[in-house]
Structure 1
Amino acid sequence: MTVEVPNIELSTQTAYLAALTIFTPIAIFFVHKSFSPKTRDGKTKHNSPISANRSKLKFEKFKVPGYSFIETGEESTDSRFKCTQVEFHDDENLSATVATNLNNNDDLKFLRNQLKELSATKQEYRDFFVDKEDETEESILANKWWKFCGSAVWLEKYNVHFMVNRIVYSKDAVRSWPTISVLSGQVFDNDWNELTDFKFPNSDLKFPGILPHIIDQGPYHKLEILGAEDPRAVLHEFTNDQGELDQEPLIIFNALRTEIGWKRAMHVYRPLQDPYNITRLSINGLKPRLIEKNWAPFMDAEEGEINFIYNFHPLRVLQCSVYTGECNKVSGPDFNKDPTKNAGKLRGGTNLVPIPASLLPKKLSHRKYWFGIGRSHTKDCGCVNELYRPHAFIISRPEDSLSFTLDYVSSLIDFNMRPETWNGGESICDDGKSVLIPNSISYWDIANTDSTEKPEDYMGITFSTADMHNKLVHVKGWLPHIYLVLDKLESQLIQHYADVDHTFIENKLLGECSTFLSEDYCEATSKLQSW
């Protein structure tokens, strides 16, 4: 198998090193290449999300089975198709650190106290304090409050990670049926040390702290499932009031809204620009549906616009205005009349990050590629009734068209993580539910190395485990894995993408194949982790 670097045909691993060496001056702008602030002497400034300590961490390999019509060269999609025809395995390139817990024991007490102060002037925050007089604060915090769904984004201009969290309160102490949720924000340096009393320029918010956005209390103020759910942060670059290119975290979440008949809708929120107001997203030509959620955000447009994967199989992509909330479908088939049939086995997980053209072989230069991590919900996985696990994926489109394709999806992966049991049982089998949800790709960059060292790409991924904890894992080796996926002769790539009808069918099949090995995963993992 070969990978093409300009004028060179090399083995996959050699080409990977050659590509990184050739493009080192460009590679340092890996994810954030479009924003390059300057120092006073005019030199390009780069605030790397990779600290000096990153290479000192211990990484352990993990295996990734995947599915790709490109990698395997398979083009048959007739009635005899089997997922094994497009299955391949990468056992060498990827490794991950032990997960770091990003939650602090004092977080919930601090945030609850802040909400108590805010409730004096904001009525909706009083819904966080529907407790009995004889309940102690210790008991309330231990049994009725949770912090998870942590989604982070690297802001190069400010040299920090910004993370949004979901803060959940349940008056009945039932985590899966909350009374109300609110968003909070945290700021970390590039070594993931939390910064306290941190303020961004031109913003009055102080971090860590509650994000004081509007919470719709509903037409009847019924105390259940109020507020924001499933927040996701994505990097938004925009022109500020001074005419300068700036950066901010753009937060995506879903919430019930009175104005559309108490249906669940997606929203965008700019906490550093307007900490109180939220913008509901609506799809032109489509009436509000009962539930909208799991949209995977990514940037691929003019300033002020954001894209979403609406669903994976078949692949549908929306483009929305950050300012007005109006959305249009730009790729994929018409929506199903039955909204329950829009979802498939693969659901939205993290934000997507661009794969820079400068780091890809020249034969791929006619397309734009993105990498993301979705998730699946599998039932009856060995002794586990419900299993939530991540899946890596790649989408792309031509440079001159908005016709997106799903090019690759992995099988179930867990990054060597073992989530806590759902109800605190001694084993997963006793508990019956195992939840590992990917929330964000917080950064992806190449370590600054001299010419004598092997350049390495690092990615930070945040997860929620058991809907109770925020975890961070650092991963090495996604770039050579991507080379493995997309490695094909240029003539074969052109032929593959030219057949639009065929790639549409492939999109659906890849989604179905994503959980093809779920039984194998459950059997192997149950032995490895002693379920």
Structure 2
Amino acid sequence: MLFKGTGNRQKLLVALSLFACIAVTLVLYHEESDILDIGWKKKPDYAPGTGLREKSRKVLLPLGSQIPEQVLRDHLRGTSSEHWESFQLPEAEVLVTPPHKPGDFKIYDSLLYAASPGATCAENEHKFKLGADDSQHMALNQSRVFEIFFDEADTYDDSYNQHLRGFLEEYMTENKEIQHWYRFSGSSVWLSDYNVHLVVSRMILSKTGSRKNPEISLTLAQIFDELWQEVPDVRVVFPSNTVENAPGFRVGNQDYHLYRFPRFLPIPFPFKTKRKYWGSEDPRVTLVRSKQGHEEPVVVFNAYHEHQLDTGEGIELHGFRSIFMSLPFQVQKGKQIEGADTDQTRDMWFTRTKQLHVQGEQDKKVEKNWIPFVSGAGAHHEHVLMLTLLDPLKIITCELWTDNGICASETSTNDDSVSPLRGGTPLLSIKTIDSEDTEYFAGIARAHLNDCGCGHDFYRPNLIVVSRKGKTWSLSHVSSSLDLGITDLLPSPKSRVCEQDSVIIPNGIEFWDLDRDLMSVYVSASDATVERVLVTGLLQAIEDSMVWKNNETESLLDTVKCALESSREFCRKFGIEDFAAFEKANEI
């Protein structure tokens, strides 16, 4: 007899009950997760790769470079990385996109609206489902950032760190680093030459401890391995531009520069101790390819600066918040920003940076929320496109590799009114039709709504599709608010989300695996975190809405109007659900 006595029979019943529960759970999970099969041609990759241990305290060399070991050793002599091993990725191990292992997807409903003259919102909507896994917080060891900051200033003669040291040093001590520093607004690109993620985020210093009144905003760069683990201390060698007497070294006809990560990117900005809000804000990063075949990051941000204007009654100094573009893998001598350089900084080295202007237009007092993107056509990029307004659509094209900051208009609108729908992630090219000279781009913008049912300010992501046919651009599709499963931070456990502003902002798309319809999105919650979430179902929604067959270029305002109306309804329902959840959690 296999089972003896009452105890064994009870164990059998328990086992059978558990089996039944598991079976039901699996069935329910399968029903909820049908979206995982949408458009996927193969299952997600997840290869261990070289991993964290192989890259920490190493000098990473670019793919295919032939740098003599002695040249590297001579350059690093006397630094903390003098004896670090060099590591170069074998070409056979290059990953075009990083390995990704999604967790359990939660399913959310949304609506996508297409441009169609004369149609009502109801006739214009396409219902779809998206899946989002649990978001992952991108770690930061702040003490290590500061430790490397000082060490590079002392042993590597890093002029940028030396330049900022006097102002920052007091607030980099153990008892002040938590009270005065905040990090958020992160985005990332995958550097396939090294098989690493370059994560860029905003880090602010507030002497008073108030995150709303920072003195300085810096751009922090971190390296994560293919498993999304931060590489705690690593030096990266990258091909750079040629500038006389630049730090770094030269091999043949190629100049190389080196950064040790994590670090503040040496982005130049004007600085006066009696003012606040200096430095680079809201960085967005995307990838471009040079003529030499190198992939390089481009960082676009806004920054405060001062400009002399002739008012007719004399020369006056006026403050502006303008858009700048930096090439982190290239260098320049001096800040090269009006009124920013001193005798000391003119001999210092910074990231190659230029202010961007729109040809034929006067600079505005405040310019923010530009979205960078590049065409998927061609072997390399000579220009970067900027989506400066979504509603009405305004796109400009800017030179990449020159010092010319004058950008040409691609669209003819003269309406500069500010819509609730505005900047977000860089756009990605998702489809080209060469025979029709047509290209489609997609990304995630954000809607800023006021008093819609949850707090005063309510920010949520919206999917957008931008198309170019010949020289004609259009905003062809806009979604309602997307629920990515990320929640705001609460000031206390008994607080409600909607007692305060509810802020979920998309900052970047590192990759979009179109074969699997899997997107890696970077999001900030409450302007206080850097989160990464994997999303599926967006490409299927775009395909199901027949974007490729939509040739309309008029009535685009109706598309935005429909999406914003639906987003306000999303906000209203969110507020009701938040209140119900709060009451239930506080029942006695």
Q: TM-score, normalised by structure 1?
A: 0.76
What's the offset of the Cα at 1:431? 3.8
Counterpart among 501, 509, 513 of residue 445 in structure 1: 513
What's the offset of the Cα at 1:223? 3.0
Matched-pair contact (CA < 8 Å) for 2:458–2:571: no
Matched-pair contact (CA < 8 Å) for 1:256–1:263: yes
- C-alpha spacing 1:318/1:392, structure 2 compared with 1 (3 Å): same
Tell me the secondary structure at the aligned position of residue 356 of structure 1: strand
Q: Which residue of 1 aligns with 2:354?
A: 279
Correspondence 1:209 to 2:263: yes
Cα deviations across residues 403-433 of structure 1 (Å, max 9, x unaligned)? Answer: 1100101111121211213x55742356411
Distance 2:484 2:435 in 1: 28
Correspondence 1:518 to 2:570: no
Letter in 2 for 1:264: R
Letter in 1 for 2:483: D
Counterpart among 95, 107, 114 of residue 68 in structure 1: 114
1:69-84 aligned within 5 A: 69=115, 74-76=116-118, 82-84=120-122
Correspondence 1:331 to 2:410: yes
1:89-488 aligned within 5 A: 89-91=127-129, 94-104=130-140, 106=141, 108-115=142-149, 118=153, 122-129=162-169, 137-195=173-231, 196-201=233-238, 202-218=256-272, 221-239=273-291, 244-259=292-307, 261-274=318-331, 275-300=350-375, 303-322=381-400, 323-336=402-415, 341=417, 343-357=418-432, 366-398=437-469, 401-421=470-490, 423=491, 426-429=494-497, 431-446=499-514, 456-486=516-546
Matched-pair contact (CA < 8 Å) for 1:216–1:257: yes
Distance 1:485 1:329 in 2: 32
- C-alpha spacing 1:97/1:318, structure 2 compared with 1 (3 Å): same
Matched-pair contact (CA < 8 Å) for 1:384–1:428: no
- C-alpha spacing 1:308/1:61, structure 2 compared with 1 (3 Å): same
- C-alpha spacing 1:368/1:411, structure 2 compared with 1 (3 Å): same
Letter in 2 for 1:518: S
What is the count of residue pairs matched by the alignment? 446
Distance 1:120 1:84 in 2: 55
- C-alpha spacing 1:389/1:459, structure 2 compared with 1 (3 Å): same
Matched-pair contact (CA < 8 Å) for 1:381–1:518: no
Which entry has the higher C-alpha Rg, 1 or 2? 2
Cα deviations across residues 457-491 of structure 1 (Å, max 9, x unaligned)? Answer: 21100011111110000112222111012257x5x
Matched-pair contact (CA < 8 Å) for 1:169–1:179: yes
Letter in 2 for 1:154: W
- C-alpha spacing 1:318/1:424, structure 2 compared with 1 (3 Å): farther
Determine what percentage of the aligned residue pairs are the same residue: 25
Counterpart among 54, 58, 61 of residue 101 in structure 2: 54
Matched-pair contact (CA < 8 Å) for 1:146–1:468: yes
Larger mean Cα displacement after TM superposition, 142-151 or 514-523: 514-523
Q: Aligned-residue CA RMSD in angstroms? A: 3.1
- C-alpha spacing 1:484/1:198, structure 2 compared with 1 (3 Å): farther
Matched-pair contact (CA < 8 Å) for 2:330–2:351: no
Matched-pair contact (CA < 8 Å) for 2:183–2:203: yes
Distance 1:329 1:484 in 2: 34
Matched-pair contact (CA < 8 Å) for 1:344–1:511: no
Q: Which residue of 1 aligns with 2:344?
A: none
Matched-pair contact (CA < 8 Å) for 2:399–2:407: no
- C-alpha spacing 1:222/1:414, structure 2 compared with 1 (3 Å): farther
Structure 1 unpaired stretches of 5+ = 1-12, 22-36, 447-454, 498-502
Tell me the secondary structure at the aligned position of residue 227 of structure 1: strand
Cα deviations across residues 111-146 of structure 1 (Å, max 9, x unaligned)? Answer: 344455659974444333566xxxx94552222211
Cα deviations across residues 466-524 of structure 1 (Å, max 9, x unaligned)? Answer: 11110000112222111012257x5xx4xx34xxxxx24x2222222222123421233
Tell me the secondary structure at the aligned position of residue 389 of structure 1: strand
What's the offset of the Cα at 1:44? 8.9
What's the offset of the Cα at 1:435? 1.0
- C-alpha spacing 1:379/1:138, structure 2 compared with 1 (3 Å): farther
Tell me the secondary structure at the aligned position of residue 516 of structure 1: helix
Distance 1:216 1:425 in 2: 41
Q: TM-score, normalised by structure 2?
A: 0.69
Tell me the secondary structure at the aligned position of residue 199 of structure 2: strand
What's the offset of the Cα at 1:45? 7.7
Higher relative contact order (CA 8 A, sep 6+): 1
- C-alpha spacing 1:144/1:425, structure 2 compared with 1 (3 Å): farther
Matched-pair contact (CA < 8 Å) for 2:357–2:405: yes
Tell me the secondary structure at the aligned position of residue 146 of structure 1: strand
- C-alpha spacing 1:402/1:177, structure 2 compared with 1 (3 Å): farther
What's the offset of the Cα at 1:364? 9.2
Distance 1:426 1:198 in 2: 45
Distance 1:250 1:83 in 2: 38
Distance 1:122 1:258 in 2: 24
Letter in 2 for 1:442: E
